[in-house]
Amino acid sequence: MFKAVAIADIHGSLAYFKKLISYIRENAVNHIFVAGDIATDRDKVTFNRVIKALSSIGVKIFYVTGEADPEKPQNTVWNN
C-alpha cells in the first residue's frame, strides 16, 4: 500500500524530526516528499545528518532544495 507524508521547513529541529520519524514508523509510511528547508542557514552538517537519518529508515524520499539548505542548484529534485 502506498502511504506518503509531505513535509517542509524542518530547519534542523530535532524535536520535530523525532516526531516525524515516530509517525513514519507507526503509520508504515513508505514515501516522503520534502519541500525544502531541512537545514538552517545552509548548514551542510544538519542537512546531511537529516538526509542520512531519513535514508536509514527505508522509505523512498523525494526532495526539492529550499533556500535554507546548502548550496545546490535551487529546486533540484533529490531522489534516493
Domain locations in the chain?
Answer: 4-79
pLDDT at 78: 59
Q: Which residues of the chain have pLDDT under 50?
A: none
pLDDT at 79: 60
Q: Which three cell numbers stand for residue 2?
A: 502506498
Question: Do the Cβ atoms of 5 and 35 come closer than 8 Å?
Answer: no
Domain 4-79 is of which CATH architecture?
4-Layer Sandwich (3.60)
Question: Do the Cβ atoms of 70 and 43 come closer than 8 Å?
Answer: yes
pLDDT at 26: 96
| Cβ within 8 Å of residue 23, ≥6 positions away | 5, 29
pLDDT at 74: 52
pLDDT at 67: 84
pLDDT at 66: 84
Radius of gyration of the chain (CA): 12
**15: Cα within 13 Å, side-chain hemisphere:** 0
pLDDT at 22: 93
pLDDT at 70: 81
